[in-house]
Amino acid sequence: MAVAPSSAAFLVRFPEFTGAPTALVDAVLADAAARIRSKVFNSAALVEQAVMLQAAVLLLLHPDARQMRLDIAIKDWLPVWQLQLDQMKQAATIHLRVF
């Protein structure tokens, strides 16, 4: 399990979530950290990036996303963030197999 970054660090990287309640952001970051295996990635920076991408995806899929006025970001950013996360996981897995 990865360590969850702070909500402040998350909001610097993803300012579109500024309208989300801090408690929700913290909870989603904790959920995202539980989903990311830190052993898969070879650096703390990549782990943090993966956790933040996973949290962004989870926040966009949250039932209250519309109330947080995130509905525009859903169609624009969900595929991008999910693709980035999938590519990071794939690259890390290939790296583990090769080396």
pLDDT digits over 65-84, tens only? 767 666 555 566 666 777 78
Residue 70 has a pLDDT of 60
Supply the angle between the helices 22-35 and 44-61 in degrees, to the nearest 10. Answer: 120
Token pair, residue 90, equals 């794939």
Residues near 64 by Cβ (< 8 Å), separated by ≥ 6? 24
Residue 94 pLDDT > 50: yes
For the stretch 9-45, pLDDT in tens is 999 998 888 888 899 999 999 999 998 888 877 788 8
Q: Up-side HSE of residue 70: CA atoms within 13 Å toward CB?
A: 23
Residue 18 has a pLDDT of 86
Residue 50 pLDDT > 70: yes
Kindly state the greatest CA–CA separation across the chain. Answer: 46
pTM, two decimal places? 0.76
